[in-house]
Amino acid sequence: MAGYTHHASLRPRRLRATPTLRRMVRETVLTPDDFIYPLFVVHGQGQQRPIGSMPGQHQWSVDMLPRQAEEIASLGIPAVILFGLPAAKDAIGSENFAEDGIVQQAIRTLKDAVPELVVITDVCMCEYTDHGHCGILDERGYVVNDATLEVLQRVVRSHAEAGADIVAPSGMMDGMVATIRQALDADGAHNTAIMAYAAKFASGFYGPFREAADSPPAFGDRKQYQMDPGNGREALLEVALDVAEGADILMVKPALPYLDVLAQVHARFDRPTAAYHVSGEYAMVKAAAQNGWIDERTVALESLTAIKRAGADMIVTYFAKDAARWLKA
Q: Which residues are catalytic?
A: 200, 253
Closer residue to ligand PBG (CB): 114 or 155? 155
Distances (CA, A) of 44 to 59, 85, 86, 205, 277: 11, 11, 11, 29, 29
Closer residue to ligand PBG (CB): 94 or 268? 94
Region of 13-21, 121-129, 177-185, 288-296 interacting with ligand PBG (CB under 6 A): 121-129
Closest C-alpha among 275, 271, 276, 273 to residue 245: 271
Closer residue to ligand PBG (CB): 134 or 166? 134
Closer residue to ligand PBG (CB): 118 or 124? 124
Interacting residues of 308 by C-beta distance below 8 A, sequence separation 6+: 28, 30, 34, 315
**Positive or negative: CA dihedral 128, 130, 135, 136:** negative
Beta bridge partners of 216: none
User: CA–CA separation, 104 vs 63, rounded Å?
Assistant: 13
Count of residues near ligand PBG by CB under 6 A: 11
Interface residue with ligand PBG among 134, 184, 259, 312 (CB under 6 A) is 134
Region of 95-103, 122-130, 174-182, 301-309 interacting with ligand PBG (CB under 6 A): 122-130
Interface residue with ligand PBG among 68, 129, 153, 170 (CB under 6 A) is 170
Is residue 76 within 8 Å of 324, Cβ to Cβ? yes
Interface residue with ligand PBG among 114, 124, 156, 256 (CB under 6 A) is 124
Closest distance to ligand PBG from the beta carbon of 53 (Å): 10
Interface residue with ligand PBG among 34, 122, 238, 245 (CB under 6 A) is 122
Restricted to residues 187-226, the positions that interact with ligand PBG (CB under 6 A) are: 206, 209, 222
Helix ranges (H only) for 75-144 are 102-113
User: CA–CA separation, 47 vs 119, rounded Å?
Assistant: 21
User: For 4, how many CA atoms within 13 A lie in the half-sphere containing its CB?
Assistant: 7
Q: Are strands 48-50 and 58-61 parallel, antiparallel or unpaired?
A: antiparallel
Region of 3-11, 22-30, 120-128, 232-240 interacting with ligand PBG (CB under 6 A): 120-128
Interface residue with ligand PBG among 162, 227, 243, 278 (CB under 6 A) is 278
Q: Is 279 in the site for ligand PBG (CB under 6 A)?
A: yes
Interacting residues of 167 by C-beta distance below 8 A, sequence separation 6+: 120, 121, 123, 156, 159, 160, 180, 184, 192, 193, 194, 195
Per CB under 6 A, residues contacting ligand PBG are 122, 124, 126, 134, 170-171, 206, 209, 222, 278-279
